[in-house]
Structures are given as C-alpha cells and as structure tokens.
Amino acid sequence: MRHRRKSGILLHPTSLPGPGGIGSLGRACRHFIDFLEAAGQSLWQVLPLGPAAYGNSPYSCYSAFAGNPLLIDLAALMEEGDLERADAVSDGPTNRVDFAHVEGYKLPLLRGAAARFHGHGDLARKEEFWHFCDTTPWLHDYALFMTLKEHFGGKSWNAWPREIARREPAALEKYSVRLGVEIGEQKYIQWQFFRQWHRIREYANVKGIGIVGDIPIFVAFDSADVWANPHLFLLDEKEKPTVVAGVPPDYFSKTGQRWGNPLYDWDAAMAEGFRWWIERFRSSFSLYDTIRVDHFRGFDACWEVPAKEKTAVNGRWVKGPGTALFDAVIGALGELPIIAEDLGVITPDVEALRDRYRFPGMKILHFAFDSGAGNPYLPHNYTRDCVVYTGTHDNDTTLGWYQSLTQSQRKNVLAYTATSGKEITWELMRVALASVADLAIFPLQDLLGLDGSARMNLPGTPNGNWSWRFPEDLLSDALAERLLDLTVLYGRR
C-alpha cells in the first residue's frame, strides 16, 4: 500500500442498486467493480460488513466477526437450487433501503434456503459447509446467540434466563440441542455470506482493486462478542455496562456523542495475550486487503462516560492498551496494512502510536477551509503517508456541505481551488488527486455530484441513516472516462 499512489471509491454494499430493496453481493456488485476498473481506480472502501443491530448501523452489530445476511445475493441461491424461483425477491423502494421490509421477506427466505440445503443439498457443498463450520471458531457462539435472541423475543442477552445469560455449560448444551435446527440455519446463512464475499473480493483483486474494510474499535453490548466474552468488558454484577464509550463535544455535536458501547477491560485482554483482538484482526484480514481502524485514538485513550449519563459531556479520558495491543497483533499476524482514523481530538501520544507503526492517517477536505493556511487538512500541509477524503460516511456530501457554507467560507474554498465552484465536487476531487497523499478516496455520492439528500449518516441522530441507494444507470462510461483521465493525470494509475 505504501509509496504507490492510488485512488478509490467509498461505497457500502447496501447502497448498490438492484432488486430486493437493498444492495447485494450479486450482479450489481460486480458491475460496480467493473466501473472501478474502467475508471482506473484501485481501491474500494466499504463500511463494516457485520449484521447491523440498533438503528441499522454497520458500526453497531450483533457480531464483530459475522457477515450481514441482508447482503446475500438470492439469485445465487436460486442457481444453486437452495431457493425456488417462485420465492423471488420482494422489491421495496429503489432509492432507499427499507430495512424492516427487507428483513421481513429476506430472512425467512434465507432460513428456507438453509432448510432445503440441509435436506437436499449435494454432498460436495455439504462438505464445504462442514469445513466452514469446523474452521470458523466464532461461528457456534454467534449462531447460538442469534437463535437465542429470537427464541427469547428479541430481548438483550442479559435479560435471558440467568443460566444461559451466564453461559453455564449445562445450559449451553441444553439450548444447543433444543435449538439445533435454527442454529444450523444461522450457520448456513453465514457460510453463504462468506463464500459470496470471498468471490467478490477475488473478482475485485483480479481486476487490480483492493478492498478497504473497516473495524470499529468498539462492539455493541447486545452482541455475541460481549455475551461470549463478558470478562473482557467492564460490566457490573447484573451484566450491565458500568461505563460506555463516546466522544466529547466536537465538530459533529455540542454534547458529544454517547455511543453506549461497553468499554474493554484492557487488563483482562492483556492477561490473555490479546487473543480476542488477534482473532478479530485475523478474521478481518481474511475479508479485506487493507483495514481502516475506526476511532484509532481509542487505543491510546478513550472517552469514558458513566453509563447513567444521557450525554457524553461528563466523561473522562482513560488510557488504552497502546503499543501492547499492536505489538501482540503484529507478533501473531505480521505487518498490518491499516489506515488509522485519527480524526477529532488527537494528541501527540495518539500521533506517536500511529507513526510508530507507520499507519497512514486521514485528511478530510471538508475540515480544511476554516482556520487559515496552517490547517492540517489543507493539501499543502500533507505528507505522503496519509489518505485524503473529500468526506466520509459521517459527513454531508460535498455538494451538500458546500451549499451549507457561509459566503466567506465559500470564498476560501474557491480561492484555494482556483475555480468558480460550478463543479465543486470535481474540483475538490481534483485537489485531492493532485496532492502528495499516497491514497485518495471519495464517497460515490461525490463522484455523482449528489446533494445532501444522499447523505449516508448524520452522527447523533438515531433514525433515517445508512439507507441511501443509487440507480445503476448513473455509472456511465462517460463518468468512468472522466475519472480515469484525472487519475492518470495525477499518477494514481
């Protein structure tokens, strides 16, 4: 990754076009990769691919290891004989994801496909499935967790009967037997997700496109991760978090962001040699070529908020594991191709941790034009070892951002880019591509020139996020050629 100029596009697979009300790992996904190749791009960045929980956020999942069943391509299951064509997909809106609608029709179809496979699948595929089950260490805990969650009416795991909430061995065995069919369905669904994703990754890699994945530092409380490893988190005697994660007041929120994730007991993790983290990175690098580590600064120090607080204002910085964790992971896995999300309140200690391992940090052009020539997000202040974005999934689109600026702020943008602002998204992409940053990545919304209605996420708001989709006909040959010309001009191909 280092010292070769590259560029790429940020797009979560749920935003892909196609039938079924949500993007999938099917034909439209391959078409998008074909577009990237035609446009001279060498990177595709995605958000976390896990099974989204609260608010449909990919940063709040039922597992840090599992894949999102809603991304499975049903057409592939039909081709394999696990679904009847009569069980065709159920279309919802084409420009947004209606998650409730998609879950309502797709999850029953996936369970039906699992039943058909277990009852009538051919031996070769069953052997592949059994191998997946035998070599995927997190799988049974996840499948049991999801099955129990449905069995107990969707309740959080700490509200289950005490014997199974606390994972008493006899209870684990009892429920594993009693719910064996449903557990098998969950394992089949994960098998299909991972085999489809690996085919997509191989398709991209063959075309010279690397996948940039995303690891959120924290996990959801109501997840298989916390249920299976409660000793690794700061919980009280009733299995509830004593403190939760967040960030102090910042650019995005005057009261900070109270994320609500449980915080790690780093001493307990260190006592185990960071085993869980090593396996988490190992699993992620089986899916991606490079990983963006979200909220990297939390490994140096994180904002600890008492669980009883309703906002993140009354928190404090608490030291993280720092070099001990990364030394352990590198010792087990070797060099880590990581991008450090180093936005927000960044201290010299965070920079030292990032630079010790030569992890490139992030530069956001939306943050560049409000504090004079010394602003570190302005391209003339970059070093090579960084990644420049117009914006991220948490920002407005570039057009929406520009339209919201004051006249004075717009003047600064136009002066720096030396343009009229008529095509501001292309001008900012050109500035990024021309910079010395090794990597330049743009949300697809910016390439398409879309306004704020195409925004992916508004931090601090619980509803209405993560649902944007685009129509396939917007990925035209002319658009690919225009991006290719700029990519070649600035030496990123």
- Tell me: the pLDDT tens digits for 235-252? 999 999 999 999 888 776
Of the candidates 82, 222, 300, 341, the residue annotated as catalytic is 341
- Whether 253 has a pLDDT exceeding 90, the answer reads no
Catalytic choice (385, 394, 396, 438): 394
Distance CA 149, CA 66 (A): 15
Question: For position 54, what pLDDT does the model report?
Answer: 84
With beta carbons less than 8 A apart as the criterion, state whether 228 and 235 touch: no
Active-site residue 173, yes or no? no
Quick one: average pLDDT of 222-226?
Answer: 98
- What residues pair up with 386 in beta bridges, in sequence order? 361
pLDDT in the model for residue 252: 66
With cut-offs at 50, 70 and 90, classify the pLDDT of residue 357: very high
Using an 8 Å Cβ cutoff, are 363 and 339 in contact?
Answer: no
pTM, full prediction: 0.96
pLDDT, average across residues 259-276: 97
Catalytic residue among 82, 214, 294, 438: 294
Q: Per-residue confidence at 4, pLDDT binned at 50, 70, 90?
A: confident
Q: Which of 336, 433, 490 is nearest to 8 (CA)?
A: 433
Residue 294 appears among annotated catalytic residues:
yes
374 phi, psi to nearest 5 deg: -85, 0
> Could you state, in order of their start, the residue ranges of all structural domains in the chain?
57-201
Q: What is the mean pLDDT of residues 437-457?
A: 98
What are the DSSP E strand ranges found in 352-409? 361-364, 386-389
Q: Which amino acid, residue 89? A: V
Whole-angstrom Cα distance, residue 113 to residue 111?
A: 5
Per-residue pLDDT band for 86 (boundaries 50, 70, 90) equals low
The pLDDT tens digits of the residues spanning 303-329 come to: 999 999 999 999 999 999 999 999 999
Q: Is the pLDDT of residue 128 over 50?
A: yes
Tell whether the model's pLDDT for residue 460 goes beyond 80: no
pLDDT surpassing 50 at residue 188? yes
End-to-end CA distance of the chain: 13
Separation of alpha carbons 270 and 474, rounded Å = 49
> pLDDT at position 459, please?
85
CA-angle at 348, arms to 347 and 351, nearest 5°: 95
H or E segment and range at residue 305: strand 301-306
